[in-house]
Structure 1
Amino acid sequence: MRADTLSEPVPDDAPKQRRSAGVSFAARLAFEDVGYRVGTTEILKGISLSAEPGEVLCLLGPSGSGKSTLLKIAAGIERPSFGRVLLGDREVAGPQRFVAPEKRGVGLMFQDFALFPHMTVLDNIRFGLRAMDSAAAKREAAAALERVGLADAAGAYPHMLSGGEQQRIALARALTPRPSVLLMDEPFSGLDSRLKDVVRTDTLQILREARATAIVVTHDAEEAMRLGDRIALIRDGSLVQAGTAAELYGRPVDLFAAGFFSELNVLEGVVRGGRVTTPLGPVADSPSSDGTRVTVALRLGGLRLEESRQGVSGRIVARRFLGGVDLFTVAVEGLDQPLRSRMRAGLVPENRRDVVVSIDPRDVIVFEKAAEDR
């Protein structure tokens, strides 16, 4: 969705009308069994993954999972301990080969933007165009500023700009040399939530216009779903799952993956007569044999609180208004720990305490114990 179609007011420092981004020659970037060690500590444990030409691939995971290290290996800032990195058909890192960062044809954009404080905005963008003559570089930099809606800021210095404006300058500088791959490390982490949505939307539009392959590091699952054509979920240096947002959300491979995309209630269950049975009753079909013990993940939006409906008895012990939704904590018969529920605000009367708890089967994910413990 374009920024100018948002129903909310556009912040003052959102991009102004701009020209389309110049087209890059997108390349495929592939990691083949890439590992990285520091001493005896394994930071990356044999990751195989690729970003296809023109694709936005998001590296998603908690802090310390190895996402930024993988990005640095792609950039040539770090050298892999084993495995290979391919840019198009060219090996840029491997057991017998290592191509320097400046010879890889990749663009870099870090979370602190890394703008030169002593240079004007125009000169910051021109910095990556030193192979051009001065006049041509100035024209190209001015065009890049126009593309991100900041043509009027050419003579300003970075400290004179807002966070959102600095982010767009950093993006313009990274894209101006027309890199075959753009690497972005937590590029929106310094923006407030109001501005973040607008800047992310405009950034994605610029990436689409430029047709550059992009790899974006983030710890925010919603951000990954907004930006990525595909998402690679990383944990403790290993690739957990890769696919589209719909695939990772709808068919997570384990409880960690499910919990990264949704808040969950986690229950123990057992298969009886082809059904997974829990203290909330049968919640899903299962092909497993009777007696198989499973873990049941229930998204908060799938826990319904009704006055009279088939289900089990519960009591509301806490309630919090969150704008469009109410967040409930509910004690349920047969469970030692309370459950949480998110429901549209106002559906449950303020004075109601006793409720009947039921579930929406569409929000139930079942994991056999072997899958959960991987």
Structure 2
Amino acid sequence: MDKAYSVHQDAPRTASVTFAARLAFEDIRHDYHGKETIRGVSLTAEPGEVLCLLGPSGSGKTTLLRIAAGIESQTSGRVLINDREVSGPSVFVPPEKRGIGLMFQDFALFPHLSVLDNVRFGLTALPAKDAIAEAMASLQRVGLAHYADKYPHALSGGEQQRVALARALAPRPSVLLMDEPFSGLDSRLKDTVRADTLAILRETRATAVVVTHDAEEAMRMADRIALLKGGSLVQLGTSEDLYRRPKSLFAAGFFSEINQFSAVVEDGGVETPLGRVDCSALSDGTPVDVAVRLSAVGVQNEGGAIPARIVSRRFAGVVDILELAVPGTERTVRARIRSDILSQHDRNVTISVEAKDILVFEKA
């Protein structure tokens, strides 16, 4: 390998701006051994946007990513980049010609290659000197130019992640696909590396599609979130859209722990153990699911609308997680409150919930 390169740390370099592309999925369907894994998903990542594909295992997130990359083919539907079809009924552009960068959850670094050679591995179209210069610029972009001569085993998990990011960005892809890129990092390191990665994505202005099963991670990173379940798109929107205006019980429960009740609409409303809520949009007699987030349950010694008794209490740092017995239900109601609100001796309390925090969904 050509080793004629400098490993000293130069002045910080601004990330080269890519020509961000629009990535569109049109009515994508995918079968695996006769089982439908993607069910007619239509979705677009706009130029320069960070779009998170969020959902539980088996929801189709990674399959969509692999279809976009060209690693897998859909059963039907089309994939377009800047309105140019790259995969469809009669077109298939190979992965290396799509202008897409890939970053996997295990980083996939070559252990026998130096950090620099890992980063320049995909720059085969450039002369060796230019490839080295571009790889060094990409390493400097992630703050690791001084590690160019080292090998992956000598780096921490966070440093390996940044090398993988540098390698994915070195060819200046118009779309960057990231499959659970932070899942291998411990929780304390994850926040830092995630913030650094987001800053680099903003600087390079690449369109990024990030797969995650972590709702908090999606809310921290994404411009928009596509929530998937069972191969179908459940809801698409900003973090605030999905958190404050969930369209289903599944969506509400995916973004926070909830208390859940079953009820029936009567006289234009729903009676729950935590209060009555208007439901005039649904006909009387309609069965519904009711959800109340733990953080929406206010607990105090007195003054609340509903009497309650503390059944159990778990200290979780700045908050306490309470289980409460309330009239009208045999199920306990859970609440998440600041740990300094009640004394350890309090047992009989009162609770209250604002009507706007009681979410009602027609049973599927």
Of residues 23, 28, 35 in structure 2, which corresponds to 1:34? 28
Distance change (3 Å), C-alpha of 1:17 and 1:199 = farther
For residues 200-219 of structure 1, the aligned pairs below 5 Å read: 200-219=194-213
The answer (yes or no) to whether the contact 1:270–1:278 under 8 Å persists in 2 is no
Q: Give structure 1 regions of 4+ aligned residues with deviation exceeding 6 angstroms.
A: none
Equivalence for 2:170 = 176
Alignment of 1:233-252 (within 5 A): 233-252=227-246
Deviation at 1:306, TM superposition (A): 1.9
CA contact under 8 A between 1:34 and 1:48: conserved in structure 2? yes
Aligned-partner Cα distance in 2 for 1:290–1:97: 52
Provide the aligned C-alpha RMSD in A: 1.5
Among candidates 220, 230, 236, match of residue 226 of structure 1: 220
> Which residue does the alignment assign to 1:111?
105
Decide whether the 8 Å contact of 1:284 with 1:364 is kept in 2: no
1:22-61 → structure 2 map (5 Å cutoff): 22-61=16-55
- Once the 2 structures are TM-superposed, how far is the Cα of residue 115 of structure 1 from its aligned partner? 0.5
- Show the counterpart of 1:350: 344
CA contact (8 A) 2:31 2:38 kept: yes
- Structure 1 residue aligned with 2:192: 198
Distance 1:17 1:171, change over 3 A: farther
Equivalent pair of 2:176/2:209 in contact (CA under 8 Å): yes
Instruction: Kindly provide the CA deviation profile for residues 276-311 of structure 1, in whole angstroms up to 9, marking residues without a partner as x.
Output: 211233144544344443221100011122222242
Aligned residues: 355
The secondary structure found in structure 2 opposite 1:314 is strand
SS of residue paired to 2:149: coil
Alignment match of 1:332 (pick from 305, 326, 330): 326
Is 1:83 matched up with 2:77? Answer: yes
Aligned equivalents of 1:204 and 1:70: distance in 2? 22
Return the letter of the residue paired with 2:224.
Answer: R
CA–CA separation in structure 1 for the residues paired with 2:271 and 2:104: 48
- Structure 1, unaligned runs of 5 or more: 1-15
Select the residue among 248, 259, 270 that pairs with 2:253: 259
Residue type of the alignment partner of 2:305? G
Distance 2:184 2:35 in 1: 30
**SS across alignment from 1:128:** coil
Please tell me the residue identity of whatever aligns with 1:88: N
**SS at structure 2 position matched to 1:98:** coil
Q: Give the counterpart of 1:278 among 266, 272, 279.
A: 272
Give the fraction of aligned pairs with identical amino acids, expressed as a percent: 62
User: How far, CA to CA, are the matches of 1:332 and 1:158 in structure 2?
Assistant: 56
| Contact 1:315–1:332, Cα closer than 8 Å, also in 2 | yes
Mapped partners of 2:346, 2:233: distance in 1:
45
Moved more, 269-278 or 34-43: 269-278
Paired residue secondary structure (2:330)? coil
Structure 2 residues without counterparts, runs of 5 or longer:
1-9
CA apart distance, 1:268: 2.4
SS at match of 1:97: coil
1:10 aligned residue: none
Counterparts of 1:305 and 1:23, CA distance in 2: 51
- 1:64 is displaced (CA, Å) by 1.1
2:300 touches 2:341 (CA, 8 Å); kept in 1?
Answer: no
Question: Displacement of 1:271 after TM fit?
Answer: 3.5
Counterparts of 1:219 and 1:45, CA distance in 2: 19
CA contact (8 A) 2:275 2:353 kept: no
2:180 aligned partner: 186
Q: Deviations over 1:125-178 (max 9, x none)?
A: 111111111111111111111111111100000010000000000000000100
2 CA distance for matches of 1:286 and 1:51? Answer: 36
Confirm or deny that 1:70 pairs with 2:64. Answer: yes
Q: Distance in 2 between matches of 1:224 and 1:94?
A: 29
Match for residue 130 of structure 2? Answer: 136
* Aligned twin of 2:13: 19
- Please tell me whether the aligned partners of residues 276 and 355 of structure 2 are also in contact (alpha carbons under 8 angstroms): no
Q: Offset of 1:204 from its aligned partner?
A: 0.6
